[in-house]
Amino acid sequence: MNYAQAACQALAEAMRADARVVALGEDVGTGGVFGQYRGLQQEFGAARVIDTPISEATIMGAAVGMALTGLRPVVEMRVVDFALCAIDEIVNQAAKNRYMFGGQGRVPLVARLPIGIWSGSAAQHSQSLEAWFAHIPGLVVVAPATPQDNYSLLTAAIACGDPVVYMEHKELWGMQGEVAAPSSAALGQARVARAGSDMTLVTWSRMLHTALAAAEQAAQQGLSVEVIDLRTIWPWDRELVLESAARTRRLLVAHESVQAAGFGAEIAATAAEELGIPVKRVGGARIPVGYARALEDAARISAPQLLQEIKLFANGADRRRSMA
């Protein structure tokens, strides 16, 4: 099945198993923009798959209230860019409630905030803001890269007792893959997507597929790159990353989001502090994503570009890119 269908199946199974699970957001009753809610309102009714007004703050505020009174809402924000209209409800209400009230309240909601460059959609629909939410105590941050993980990780996110910022990629919805169900993945657990010995490359979301393509090309040129799919941005799997980096003695982090202050910096700094090994980051330029194809391409990182960075790093070259 595809990435969207996998998430839809995970949500349907959770709703069948637990009457407290509800979904709310714009157009969820008609199946959602990407088909990730297709057929759910027909099965569960409009009281559990709830179409809302176009007001992100209202949607998220209602979901926080639902969660505090015992429901387990799955909140649709359409794209992460729109979720900025609900930032107070996510950051100051959902994330902090458990701490500020001594555990008397819990906010077991899943906020679906799709990230990434969305072809032809320009600067206000193409952001990757996972580092923003990783910075907030109280939030779990998840970024699935495959149909299997979109099924397994959404299942785990719905079962989590804390607020989960769930960041699907806007250009992965149609991606096909095998999905084993029922299954759940442990939040905070990365996976080795490709074994290697010369370098560890850590990535997540759509960049995983770029990284795998670059690693395959590197292998044809005699470089063995281990690719780790982080899967969960927070908590992130320090143990697996550090074990791999200690073995390969080089760590490269690649992400689609802007390199400046991206989450890759946290991973690179940790490896440098703990292991004292060479580290390198590859991320997007600090520019808005343009509407014109040429401008959009300038914001993307391609497999050939990533391969070039891999080769330079493997050869010990120190090339610093100037980010405006």
pLDDT band (50, 70, 90) for residue 321: very low
- What is the tens place of the pLDDT at every residue in 114-153? 999 988 889 999 999 999 999 999 999 999 999 999 999 9
**Domain tally for the chain?**
2
Domain boundary among 166, 201, 228: 166
Q: Does the pLDDT at position 324 exceed 70?
A: no
pLDDT band (50, 70, 90) for residue 323: very low
Residue 107 lies in a domain: yes
Residues 122 and 36 in one domain: yes
Residues 8 and 125 in one domain: yes
The model's pTM is 0.94
Residues 37 and 145 in one domain: yes
| DSSP for 175-229, written as a single string | -B----SS----TT--EEEE--SSEEEEE-TTHHHHHHHHHHHHHHTT--EEEEE
| Segment (H or E) for 165 | strand 164-166
pLDDT band (50, 70, 90) for residue 317: low
208-214-215 Cα angle (round to 5)? 85
Residue 144 lies in a domain: yes
Residue 119 lies in a domain: yes
Q: How many C-beta atoms lie closer than 10 Å to residue 155's C-beta?
A: 22
Number of H helices, E strands in the chain: 13, 12
CB of 133 within 8 A of CB of 94? no
Cα–Cα distance measured from residue 266 to residue 133, given in angstroms and rounded to the nearest whole number: 13
Domain boundary among 166, 200, 228: 166
Domain hosting residue 206, numbered range: 191-314
- Give me the active site residues, please: 56, 125
Name the strands in the sheet holding 199-203, side by side, starting at the edge strand that comes first in the sequence. Answer: 191-194, 225-229, 199-203, 251-258, 279-284
Residues 200 and 302 in one domain: yes
CATH code at 236? 3.40.50.920
Residue 115 lies in a domain: yes
Helices (H), the chain: 3-17, 40-44, 56-68, 80-83, 87-88, 97-100, 130-134, 147-159, 207-220, 238-248, 264-275, 293-299, 303-314
Cα–Cα distance measured from residue 33 to residue 31, given in angstroms and rounded to the nearest whole number: 7
Residues 244 and 144 in one domain: no
Residue 49 lies in a domain: yes
Cα–Cα distance measured from residue 197 to residue 223, given in angstroms and rounded to the nearest whole number: 8
CB of 243 within 8 A of CB of 207? no
Domain boundary among 110, 133, 166: 166
